[in-house]
């Protein structure tokens, strides 16, 4: 697991890979893309980038948060009515400016730029294959493998839509993509729909984004999620859509609802906030306890704590105050400095805690070191008892599909039993939500969720790992292409 210092201390939390934005409008789109990136900043805080088409593809990117990377002058210089944006947290490829996105390249058919959320499991094999064909790589990112694979396919076929259909057949893993080919902007979601992607309209724009909250905040209308295996082209008039072969069931990442996505986002038909509240209610049913107050770990445990409070009848108390102005300030390489970082980040409200039996609610435990320090802070503030409740079942297996959890030895649940974890984190009791209870709270079919990090069973083939029972993707038929028509007379859906 990569543990970055961008949150003020080395917070041992799962990290997602990136937020993506695409836009087409009747006027320059760079400023709208910039604001959209600010809205999905929680999905990636290492780097930010924008690419636009203004006669040619122009790219501006750098390390840092979006408002640190772009000046007003930068946005004015990025003219063009078609563009895309990206915020990154690295899972494949190092945290360095050369791996910042969008990644672009030039072909005989024009420029290509790409922004990617997810992980490609077979990227190393694809990289070696392309190197044998003479392609040189400038980064260590799997996203560059995707863009060069696509460029190779376009050069081979001379047909953009055919190339988009064909090159994905070689990709194993998860991908929500925004791709700009010349002035054409496409969104693509892998056939299992692991990572979120949705489309919206308004203010003279057609936009694609990782989360629906972008459209809410920008005063636009959320239309729908991109379907599994769907290719969507944004145009000034609306959009066109094609489907790749896709299985009966999806593999939505359950962590999107539990942790990654903003609570005000709608993901695949489920409001994230409502899902987290239901998780808290389920926790109260599965792990009731005699206590005085319910308290969230900010910000990740807030909605779950509200659900626990609602179901248990215990009052919800904000007993930990988060310092919101310490982001990206400290890089803390050892454990003692990390513990100082927790103190800098969180401070207890002693009058609310002293003498109380506290139910402390958080979203997940990875190594246990951070939550251990938080429990100690609450104990030192005078809590009589501390009962920890966790809204995610024990994490025991790596993620290969876009979360920065790569080795089994980092998970405390693989090393200790629940009673041993309870002792280690110095809590009085510890209760994880059950897998079945979590699934019930998310209101998704088990077969439509990726639970690999909980069960060790994955929706795609990964060397040395178990694959969940499902027909291979190649056995599913491809939808027949739409009849070729003059461009202005195609069956575009007006939105």
- Per-residue pLDDT tens over the stretch 58-104: 999 999 999 999 999 999 999 999 999 999 875 444 556 777 899 99
The pLDDT of residue 157 is above 60: yes
The pLDDT confidence band at residue 403, using thresholds 50, 70 and 90, is: confident
**8 Å CB contact between 340 and 317:** no
Q: Which residues are catalytic?
A: 18
pLDDT score at 245? 85
% of the chain surpassing 70 pLDDT: 86
pLDDT at 419: 98
Looking at residue 475, what is its pLDDT? 55
Position 343 scores a pLDDT of 61
pLDDT value at 38 more than 80: yes
Flag the least confident range among 13-17, 161-165, 180-184, 378-382: 13-17
pLDDT digits over 229-255, tens only? 999 999 999 999 999 988 889 999 999
Instruction: Give the model's confidence band at 494: pLDDT under 50 very low, under 70 low, under 90 confident, else very high.
Output: very low
| Helix axes of 272-286 and 435-442: crossing angle, nearest 10 degrees | 140
Whether the per-residue pLDDT at 256 is higher than 70: the answer is yes
- Please say if the pLDDT value at position 492 is more than 50: no
Question: Top-level CATH class of 274-443?
Answer: alpha beta
* pLDDT for position 471: 61
Residue 474 tokens, joined: 């190649």
Confidence category of residue 17, pLDDT binned at 50, 70, 90: low
pLDDT tens profile 308-329: 999 999 999 999 998 876 654 3
Q: Label each residue of the chain as H, E or C.
A: CCCCCCCCCCCCCCCECCEEEEEEECCCCHHHHHHHHHHCHHHCCCEEEEEEECCCEEEEEEECCHHHHCCHHHHHHCCCCEEEEEEECCCCCCCCHHHCCCEEEEECCEEEEEEEECCECCHHHHHHHHHHCCCCCCCCCHHHHHHHHHHHHHHHHCCHHHHHHHHHHHCCECCEEEEEECCEEEEEECCCCCCCCEEEEECCEEEEECCCHHHHHCCCEEEEECCCCEEEEECCCEEEEEECCCCCCCCEEHHHHHHHCCCCCEECCEEHHHHHHHHHHHHHHHCCCCCCEEEECCCCCHHHHHHHHHHHCCCECCCEEECCCCCCCCCCCCHHHHHHHHHHHEEECHHHHCCCEEEEEECCCCCCHHHHHHHHHHHHCCCCEEEEEECCCCCCCCCCCCECCCCHHHCHHHCCCHHHHHHHHCCCEEEECCHHHHHHHHCCCHHHEECHHHHCEECCCCCCCEECCCCCHHHCCCCCCCCCCCHHHCCCEEC
Give the pLDDT band of residue 476 (cuts 50, 70, 90).
Answer: low
Rounded to whole angstroms, how far apart are CA atoms 169 and 171? 6
The tally of CA atoms less than 13 A away on the side-chain side of residue 295 is 28
Q: What is the pLDDT of residue 13?
A: 59
- End-to-end Cα distance, the chain: 41
Burial of residue 313 (number of CB atoms within 10 Å: 0-12, 13-18, 19+): exposed
pLDDT of residue 330: 35
C-alpha to C-alpha distance for 332 and 269, rounded to whole angstroms: 39
Contacts of 145 (CB under 8 A, 6+ apart): 120, 123, 126, 127, 130, 137
What is the pLDDT, as a whole number, of residue 106?
A: 84
Range in 140-149, 347-356, 362-371 with the lowest mean pLDDT: 140-149
Instruction: Give the global pTM.
Output: 0.88
CATH number for the domain whose boundaries are 19-247+476-494: 3.60.20.10
- Residue 401 reports pLDDT greater than 60: yes
242: closest CA among 229, 258, 225?
229
pLDDT at residue 258, as a whole number: 95
Per-residue pLDDT band for 363 (boundaries 50, 70, 90) equals very high
The neighbouring-strand residues paired with 87 are 19, 48
Pick the closest to residue 84 from 202, 210, 261 (CA basis): 210
Q: Where are the domains of the chain?
A: 19-247+476-494, 274-443
Nearest by Cα to 170 from 457, 469, 474, 398: 474
Question: Which of residues 107 and 443 earns the better pLDDT score?
Answer: 443
Helices 272-286 and 302-312: crossing angle, nearest 10°?
50
């Amino acid at each position: 697991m990569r543990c970055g210092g961008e949150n003020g201390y080395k917070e041992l939390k799962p990290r997602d890979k990136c937020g993506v934005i695409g836009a087409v409008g009747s006027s320059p789109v760079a400023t709208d893309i910039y604001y959209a990136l600010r809205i999905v900043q929680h999905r990636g805080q290492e780097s930010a980038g924008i690419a636009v088409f203004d006669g040619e593809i122009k790219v501006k990117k750098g390390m840092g948060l979006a408002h640190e990377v772009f000046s007003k002058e930068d946005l004015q210089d990025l003219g063009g009515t078609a563009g895309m944006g990206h915020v990154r947290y690295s899972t494949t490829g190092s945290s360095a400016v050369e791996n910042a996105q969008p990644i672009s390249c030039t072909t005989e058919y024009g420029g290509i730029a790409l922004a990617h959320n997810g992980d490609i499991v077979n990227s190393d094999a694809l990289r070696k294959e392309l190197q044998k064909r003479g392609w040189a790589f400038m980064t260590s990112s799997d996203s560059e493998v995707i863009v060069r694979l696509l460029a190779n396919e376009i050069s081979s076929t001379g047909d953009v839509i055919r190339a988009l259909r064909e090159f994905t057949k070689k990709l194993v893993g998860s991908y929500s993509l925004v791709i700009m080919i010349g002035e054409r902007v496409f969104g693509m979601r892998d056939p299992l729909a692991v990572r979120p992607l949705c489309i919206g309209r308004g203010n003279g724009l057609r936009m694609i984004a990782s989360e629906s909250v972008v459209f809410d905040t920008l005063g636009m209308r959320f239309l729908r999620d991109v379907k599994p295996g769907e290719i969507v082209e944004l145009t000034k008039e609306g959009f066109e859509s094609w489907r790749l072969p896709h299985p009966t069931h999806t593999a939505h990442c359950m962590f999107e609802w539990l942790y990654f996505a903003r609570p005000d986002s709608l993901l695949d038909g489920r409001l994230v906030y409502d899902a987290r509240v239901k998780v808290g209610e389920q926790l109260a049913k599965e792990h009731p306890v005699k206590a005085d107050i319910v308290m969230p770990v900010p910000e990740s445990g807030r909605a779950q704590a509200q659900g626990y409070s609602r179901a248990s009848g215990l009052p919800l108390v904000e007993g930990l105050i988060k310092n919101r102005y310490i982001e990206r300030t400290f890089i803390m390489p050892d454990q003692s400095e990390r513990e100082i970082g927790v103190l800098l980040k969180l401070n207890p409200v002693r009058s609310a805690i002293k003498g109380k039996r506290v139910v402390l609610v958080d979203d997940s435990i990875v190594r246990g070191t951070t939550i251990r320090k938080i429990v100690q802070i609450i104990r030192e503030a005078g809590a009589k008892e501390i009962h920890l409740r966790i809204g995610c079942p024990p994490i025991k297996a790596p993620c290969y599909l876009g979360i920065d959890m790569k080795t089994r030895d980092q998970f405390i649940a693989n090393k200790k039993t629940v009673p041993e974890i309870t002792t280690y984190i110095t809590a009085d009791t510890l209760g994880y939500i059950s897998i079945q209870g979590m699934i019930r709270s998310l209101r998704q079919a088990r077969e439509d969720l990726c639970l690999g990090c909980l069960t060790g069973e994955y929706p795609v083939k990964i060397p040395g790992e178990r694959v969940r029972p499902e027909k291979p993707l190649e056995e599913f038929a491809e939808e027949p292409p739409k009849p070729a028509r003059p461009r202005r007379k195609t069956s575009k859906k007006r939105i």
